[in-house]
A and B are shown apart, each in its own frame.
Chain A
Amino acid sequence: MFSLYSILEFTLLVLNGFAIVNKERVLNKYLKNNQHSFHGEDSSVTMRLVHLILSIQTVLRVPLIAINTVVIVFKVLLG
């Protein structure tokens, strides 16, 4: 049904989407409620999603640049 390659592409595009989310426009709405001072108390689902997106951005921004470059070169060369 879905080949391995298409699932990998899907994850890459989703991660790209996570990395692009602009902190000021979208996430500040959620971050203003929270004091963001201590990490023991973010037990609601939305807060944990926000933290997940923030951590993905911090960790994966630079490696995603490299991976995207490689994938773009492959697609341009090999169709």
Chain B
Amino acid sequence: MSEPDWNWGYQPDQTAQAHHQGQPGGWAPPAPQHSDYYGGAPTPQAPVPPTQPNYSQWDPNASVPTYDQSGFGGVPAGNFANGAPNAYGNNQFAAAAQGFMGDPMFNAAKTFGGQFAEQQKQALSQYISSFNLKYYFAVDTKYVGRKIGILLFPFAPRDWSTQFGGDGKPVPAKLDVNAPDLYVPLMAFITYVLISGFVFGVQQRFSPEQLGMQTTNALFYLFLENMIVFITKYVLNISQSLSLWHTLAFTGYKFVGIVVCLVLYLLGGTTIYYCALVYMVLAITIFLARSLKSFVLDMQSGGYNAYDGGRKRKMYMLLSVVVTQALIMYLLTSSVTSYMGDNLDFAKMALSKMGVKSKDVPMTADGEVDYEALLKMP
């Protein structure tokens, strides 16, 4: 496409009638309104092309550039007269849009808006300090593989300390296996929701609302756990190195174990599920105890906190956090797996909870459960 008419077809030496006559489509604004729009600037200069963002070069003291007739007066209005009639409509809208974009007021507003947004972002980032989520997602495949290996089998690694980079900040996850990340917990959480939906489907009690309910339930337990850790950190005056994102990462690691337990339940049944649950609880407990020990007890970050006593309190908090993992893991999976898949489940559940291990529930002739005989059973 040829060079668009930056002046919207404005020819200052044309009269208004010739202006209206010569232009096809007549969308070009008439000359008196045109100059009013530009604040009465008589000699337009070359505008900044709209595709080039030069925010850094914008000088706030410079006035709004005026049009220069010389550069673009040569673009004839006949450009549009030469356009083919079927390309006429496209030409009109594209040229209108680019005429608008070439408008210096619009450019000025755009650059000023950009600068304003930059300033606000800097001012805001002073308040939300250390909001650096990118650190937690700097992972690669090797790290994910090794992390999942450590989660499932925490007895092998010997070194649990996290390394620090050059400027005292912890090293991102690509370079250090022990660094916490948010990618593995996020993926494990989503996998847990999907697999629990799958288990529901196998048990023939799936509906799309179940997915939402499982998500809400698990998210709520996660949120509750993090709030408890947060408040406990404040009350017991434990160090600053365990930020909120760190605890979120560490509490999210148990979903990997939960996913493995659910998969084994699908493959094997209830007994394998319980064995896997016990083993996963053990693994997660050891993993968390060893990881958090290096964070909470030995971390020398900050430098303000000369009061480094209270190791007993920190151990208490650590142990309590670690023990509640077991409870939550059981809670999250029990609702999925405790289902006896026959349509007399109420009666059988009631019988098994009563301790009666009988297999046959008395039935009436209709095939319904005979409750009177059920109540009369020993």
User: Contact: B216 with A4, CB < 8 Å?
Assistant: yes
Of residues 321 to 344 in B, which have CB atoms within 8 Å of A's CB atoms? Answer: 331, 334
User: Contact: A7 with B224, CB < 8 Å?
Assistant: yes
Q: B interface vs A, CB < 8 Å? A: 216-217, 220, 224, 231, 234-237, 307, 313, 331, 334
Provide the bound-state CA to CA distance between A1 and B217, in Å. 12
Give the dominant DSSP class at B's interface: helix
User: Contact: B220 with A7, CB < 8 Å?
Assistant: yes
**B235's contact among A1, A4, A7, A52, by CB below 8 Å, is which?**
A52
Q: A7-B224, A52-B231 are in contact. Are A45 and B236 (CB under 8 A)?
A: yes
* B105 → A minimal CB distance (Å): 46
Closest A residue to B235 using CB positions: A48
Q: A1-B331, A48-B235, A52-B235 are in contact. Are A43 and B307 (CB under 8 A)?
A: yes
A49 within 8 A of B: yes
Provide the bound-state CA to CA distance between A52 and B231, in Å. 9
Contacts of B237 in A (CB 8 A): 43, 45, 48
Provide the bound-state CA to CA distance between A52 and B216, in Å. 28
User: Contact: B234 with A52, CB < 8 Å?
Assistant: yes
Of residues 1 to 57 in A, which have CB atoms within 8 Å of B's CB atoms? Answer: 1, 4, 7, 43, 45, 48-49, 52
> Can you name 19 A-B pairs with beta carbons within 8 Å?
A1-B331, A1-B334, A4-B216, A4-B217, A4-B220, A7-B220, A7-B224, A43-B237, A43-B307, A45-B235, A45-B236, A45-B237, A45-B313, A48-B235, A48-B236, A48-B237, A49-B235, A52-B234, A52-B235
Closest A residue to B334 using CB positions: A1
Q: Which are the 6 A-B pairs with shortest beta-carbon distances?
A: A48-B235, A43-B237, A4-B220, A49-B235, A4-B217, A43-B307
**B234's contact among A4, A7, A48, by CB below 8 Å, is which?**
A48
Contacts of B234 in A (CB 8 A): 48, 52
Contacts of A45 in B (CB 8 A): 235-237, 313
* A57 → B minimal CB distance (Å): 15
Contacts of B331 in A (CB 8 A): 1
Contacts of B224 in A (CB 8 A): 7
Closest B residue to A40 using CB positions: B304
Provide the bound-state CA to CA distance between A7 and B224, in Å. 10
Closest B residue to A55 using CB positions: B234
* A69 → B minimal CB distance (Å): 23
Please name 5 further chain A to chain B contacts, defined as beta carbons within 8 Å, in addition to the given A1-B331, A43-B307, sorted by A numbering.
Answer: A1-B334, A4-B220, A7-B220, A48-B235, A49-B235
Provide the bound-state CA to CA distance between A52 and B307, in Å. 20
Provide the bound-state CA to CA distance between A48 and B236, in Å. 8
Contacts of A1 in B (CB 8 A): 331, 334
Provide the bound-state CA to CA distance between A7 and B231, in Å. 17
Contacts of A4 in B (CB 8 A): 216-217, 220
Contacts of A43 in B (CB 8 A): 237, 307
* B331 → A minimal CB distance (Å): 6
Provide the bound-state CA to CA distance between A43 and B331, in Å. 35
Closest A residue to B335 using CB positions: A1
Contacts of A52 in B (CB 8 A): 231, 234-235
* B324 → A minimal CB distance (Å): 13
Provide the bound-state CA to CA distance between A52 and B230, in Å. 12
Provide the bound-state CA to CA distance between A40 and B224, in Å. 28
Closest A residue to B307 using CB positions: A43
* B219 → A minimal CB distance (Å): 10
Provide the bound-state CA to CA distance between A1 and B224, in Å. 16
* A30 → B minimal CB distance (Å): 14
Provide the bound-state CA to CA distance between A43 and B308, in Å. 11
